[in-house]
Amino acid sequence: MDFIQLSLETAEVARRAGQFIRQEAARFDRSRVEHKGLHDMVSYVDQESEKLLVAGLRELLPQAGFITEEGTAGAPSRAEEFTWIIDPLDGTTNFIHGLPCYSVSIALLQGNELVVGVVYEVNQDECFRAVRGGGAFCNEQRIHVSGTAELNSSLIATGFPYSNFARVDTYLPILKEFMRRTNGIRRVGSAAVDLAWVAAGRFDGYFEFNINSYDVAAGILLVREAGGHVTQFLHDGDPVFGREVLATNTAVHAEMQQVIGEFWS
């Protein structure tokens, strides 16, 4: 299969969904927001965007299974060969409040391996894509992780828990230590964008826990193909389905793991 061509076609599917999201942002009615759980919001925009994505991706690979955030493709189903992992609107809270950072995220698994990843940041019209073994690109310009050599000179990103606070007392000391040992911490509000920006060298590292596969799958491939390193917090477990992610430019990975390891067990 030609994964480069498939990635280009996937990027076009993401752009079409992004165009719909952009149009709806101009006339969004906050009264139509629903709650899936504590602080976990969803809108008709998420759901309609996902339907567009599922329809477009089914045309590209009719035999593939789907793991989607909103469940419009039915129950999550991993096919034997190919599985799409989709977040139709990563950064829903930003979107609802009119904050300009949210994205469409699409990844393709072949068996257990990520082979295609696309993140489309809607507001800046930036389409990031990667193919296993083929590099990473933003609007078809090749991207690379940063050359920052030390944590002390780095800018990193994270996300905050919004519904599961079981480990918040462990998480806060980690944030405090990173405040002391970096140039700053940013909380953008879209994990897919955080990872894309690590791949593009804008962030030097990113970490988050209690995260879902559809938030990070595409971005993980972007970082790896841009020369970065992605693991779970303290070991090389599966960051796609492992519920925690540490992604860096490689150079600061060990230092970030050391800081996290001082508090996380």
Binding-site residues sit at: 69, 87, 89-90, 215
Distance in Å from the first CA to the final CA of the chain: 41
Tokens of 54: 């599922």
Give the C-alpha separation, 135 to 159, whole Å. 26
- Sequence ranges of the binding site for Mg(2+): 69, 87, 89-90, 215
